[in-house]
Amino acid sequence: MSKAAGQSLPNVLSKVVDLLVESRTRIDAMEQVLVKTNPVAYQLYLGMIENLQAQKTAEVNRALTQTLKSKPAKR
């Protein structure tokens, strides 16, 4: 992030979004190649993605629960 230090936040965010879009485009292209060349591997890939999403959801829920428990209730 040292390159981003001298840039404005909107410029940095724009570059991050551009990189995310480029990455998503490449992933979509690779998925299409996988679908056409090896449908079984593609199904395994989809299963792995679903498992990773479930793990991420569980991690976020744990972190949120821990954060809520550690903050005193305001009344």
Note whether 4 and 13 are within 8 A (CB): no
pLDDT range class, residue 1, cuts 50, 70, 90: very low
- Enclosing H/E stretch for 65: helix 39-70
pLDDT in tens, 38-73: 999 999 999 999 999 999 999 999 999 998 888 776
pLDDT at 6: 73
Distance from C-alpha of 43 to C-alpha of 49, rounded to nearest angstrom: 10
**What percent of the chain clears pLDDT 90, i.e. is strictly above it?**
75
- pTM exceeds 0.85 for this model: no
pLDDT at 75: 59
Note whether 15 and 21 are within 8 A (CB): no
